[in-house]
Structure 1
Amino acid sequence: MVRNNTVYILLTHSGSLLSKCINMYTKEPYTHVSIALDKNLKELYSFGRINPYNPIFGGFVKEDIVNGTYSRFPETRCAFYSLSLNDIQYKRLKRELDKFKANGDKYGYNLLGLFGIIINIPIERKYNYFCSQFVATLLNNSGIYLFNKPPALVTPKDFRKCRKLKLLYEGRLRSYYNRLEVYYQIN
């Protein structure tokens, strides 16, 4: 039996120094991409700050919208999308994600890759990713191809424009979280 499984793509703009720099260059509303296995964003992954208070060191992170980096930026704007997968794609994606989780310490942030986007040349570095490159790579390695370009050239704009993604919510991230809290208090 082929079930429909869902993963979620979260686009954000926090207002951090790096996100402001990216926003000034791209003029895009969102500057960061994460992937979630649940609508509640408890299983939310990306490449970004390892420590919410230290923007210098980045790598593979399990993001926390309550106590992590987002707690430092309460005005974070977001767009939240769903992507339906079949059983095989979903199992592959979980397996690929498990590889990142098992080896999280060996990964770093591909800051150089951001400059590759500017000059339209993919800059890939072993064990190093930037956020949208990570999500695109994870999807590609799972047999899910959303873009006709190398993952090292994929940007948050590509996710925002992707017709295979279904927009579920757009607004402040904190407001989305507050809606979840109310929902769980009622049910």
Structure 2
Amino acid sequence: MKKTVLTLGVSALVAAAVFAQEFNPSSSALGELSTNANVEASANQESVSENADDKTLSAQEISKSIEEVDGIKVFANILKNSSDKVKDVDSDSGVTVLAPIDAIADTEKIVQNISDYIVPEKLTKENLETKSSVQTLSGKTLPVEVKDSAILINNVEVASLADSSDDKVSVLRLANNFSEEASLVLAK
């Protein structure tokens, strides 16, 4: 009886080992999976490091990060299609897009002066209120003024500050386009 129990026990152990081998990867396969995971993790970390060090944003990257911001779809589309007119932005802090809201966006004016609507610096409401002017990507200096809690950039009211999908890009929704009259201020 003891011999039979022992034989059954050994048979059960052998069967369990065979079963486990069929449904679990071999140790060499586990090693291979582990190596592949390490290589992928290392590549992802290098990619994140490169992006953290990369301070340059292209028009395509900027337009992609603002395309989901409510109320500025017209501007985002113009920027996306104007990448040949907008040079890459090199900035430590990021970029601010001065985007007229869709209801009043003048496509022709924006297309002609697209670089006037991009500031190579990430602006917040707080740091904007302390500035007397901002420099655009085109090199123009736009006056900044605070009147009765409203912020005006080049005599155009900032309707709101919006979040983009990229923390390097800030969006200021403008209540109007920069006008011909305002363009005279730009030229001074």
TM-score interval w.r.t. the shorter chain?
Answer: under 0.3
TM-score, normalization by structure 1? 0.23
TM-score, normalization by structure 2? 0.23
Q: Which of the pair has more CA radius of gyration?
A: 2
Structure 1 or 2: more strand by fraction: 1
Structure 1 or 2: more helix by fraction: 2
